[in-house]
Amino acid sequence: MCGIVGVRSAKGVRLSRLITVLQGLQHRGQEASGFAGITVDGREVSFKDLGLVADVFKRYGHDPLLKVAIAHTRYSTRGETYRPENVQPFVGFIGGRMVALVHNGNLTNYAELKGELESEGVVFRSTSDSEVILLLYAKEGGSPQEKIKRMAGRLEGAWTVLLVDGDRLVAFRDPYGFRPLWMGGDGEEVWFASEDSALRAADIEVVREVSIGEGYVVGEEVERFYVRRKGKLPCSFELVYFARPDSNIFGRSVYEWRLKAGEILAEADPVKGDVVVPVPDSGTIYAIGYSGRSGVPFQMGLIRSHYVGRSFIQPSQDMRRRTVRAKLFPVPFVLKGRRVILVDDSLVRGTTMREIVRMVREVGAREVHVRIGSPPVVSPCYFGIDTPTREELAAARMSSEEIGRFIEADSILYLPLDRYLREMEGFCVSCFTGNYKVKVPDTR
């Protein structure tokens, strides 16, 4: 998953403003970030590095006035995480004209396309699927619209893309619409960003959500075109976890969905608790919904430290355990002697939740009942969210009762799958069902 931003303005936009919008998408990726563009006086500029948005651009140290630019914050799903070559944007030149690309999603036929290009003598500088898109674009002839339409017949999977092509900004979503994209601006400036909340936070007027399979070429004029359409598969996990709660994604308010899911959970719950406690921040709105519907009081029984970065996150079990304990602090005043309804958005491996349940018990909770605002995750994602292999997914190996025992809870309740499927009609739900409507590689 990643966050992407693009702008074109004849008068020019400072890089610092572009970075403000990108910071509003920091939750979509914390590994690396970068930008590429052309200044109002025609200079090509770019910079990218590992790290959080603010840190990376502090290192750059300039604030050019940009006519056209794109920027990216990275959360890797394809390509080694800490390899600088995989950081976006990917930048190239065609006949002296800068062509740069940022991508949110994941190509499911990356290996095949890469193999084809390699057999033609193309040399790759990274292990990222996004580079394949740039190279295919560069190979095609004609206008940006013609290039993209032809390329769209070759790309499979999820690809929401922003491109700088000379002094034009190009934006498009794939024919299934897995990943979001919003358009903003006031006529003089045209903006694109993964989430509308990032535009609003930077005082940019939100114009519309880019439709599935829709594209724009922004030069002196704004030209709209259709890439192609295959079906409708926007990612429901964006609503569950990934997007910011103040965003609207795929025509729905993220906040509203999480609140409703909490209410549905409360309606389905036979257990009576004394206090509803979210796992912050991801479980907070679900817990508000649960509390409102059940009448059980909501309390912040876990306090989250905002000073522990992802650098703490390590693949080993012990490091994960220590990370949870460095990030979340139980509040004895809220938890001691209580029957706790502990609410989170989703449960993937189960090891983090087990640690949280232990922490809640250690300060004296009488009972801990875990409530999850989505159905069991039974299958990996191939479309841009880095869920683990099937073997690592708790719900792929265990029944709900077994997971409840594994996480050492008194009980566990998920959002019922049938209800979720009804609510998410027209969305991708493959990681909850194991059924894929798009061909996926046999790599996990």
Distance CA 212, CA 390 (A): 29
- Cβ atoms of residues 114 and 124 within 8 Å: yes
- Which residue stretch of 54-62, 232-240, 330-338, 366-374 sits at the interface with ligand SF4 (rule: CB under 6 A)? 232-240
Question: CB neighbours (10 Å) of residue 327?
Answer: 20
- Number of Cα atoms under 13 Å in the Cβ half of residue 283: 30
Task: Draw the binding track, 257-296, toward ligand SF4 (x: CB under 6 A; -: no contact).
Answer: ----------------------------------------
Among 236, 282, 294, 323, interactor with ligand SF4 by CB under 6 A: 236
Task: Find, among 345, 341, 385, 397, the residue nearest to 366 by Cα.
Answer: 341
Count of residues binding ligand SF4 (CB under 6 A)? 11
Query: Of these, 110, 176, 178, 257, which contacts ligand SF4 (CB under 6 A)?
Result: 178
Residue 212 lies near ligand SF4 (rule: CB under 6 A): no
Do residues 381 and 430 touch, judged by C-beta distance below 8 A?
A: yes
* DSSP secondary structure string for all residues of 162-216: EEEETTEEEEE--TT--S--EEEE-SSEEEEES-HHHHHHTTPPEEEEPPTTEEE
Sole residue written with tokens 């057999």 = 119
> Is 2 considered catalytic here?
yes
When the beta carbons of 152 and 431 are compared against ligand SF4, the nearer one is: 431
CA nearest neighbour of 236 among 437, 95, 71: 437
Given a contact cutoff of 8 angstroms between Cβ atoms, the answer to whether 265 and 290 are in contact is yes
Distance of CA 174 to the CA centre of its chain: 16
Residues 50-89 that bind ligand SF4 (CB under 6 A): none
Candidates 6-14, 54-62, 136-144, 428-436; binding stretch for ligand SF4 (CB under 6 A): 428-436
Q: Which lies closer to ligand SF4 via its Cβ, residue 69 or residue 415?
A: 415
Minimum CB separation of residue 417 from ligand SF4 in Å reads 13
- Cβ 180 to ligand SF4, closest distance in Å? 11
Rounded least distance, CB 179 to ligand SF4, Å: 8
Phi, psi of 39, rounded to the nearest 5 degrees: -75, 170
149: which residues sit within 8 A by CB, 6+ positions away? 225, 227, 228
Instruction: Please tell me whether residue 235 binds ligand SF4 under the rule CB under 6 A.
Output: yes
Smallest distance, ligand SF4 to C-beta of residue 235, A: 3
Comparing CB distances to ligand SF4, the nearer of 91 and 264 is: 264
Nearer to ligand SF4, 250 or 255 (CB): 250
Nearer to ligand SF4, 178 or 290 (CB): 178
Beta strands at 2-14 and 65-74: parallel, antiparallel or unpaired: antiparallel
Contacts (CB under 6 A) with ligand SF4, residues 380-399: 381, 383, 385
Catalytic residues: 2
Per CB under 6 A, residues contacting ligand SF4 are 178, 235-237, 381, 383, 385, 428-431
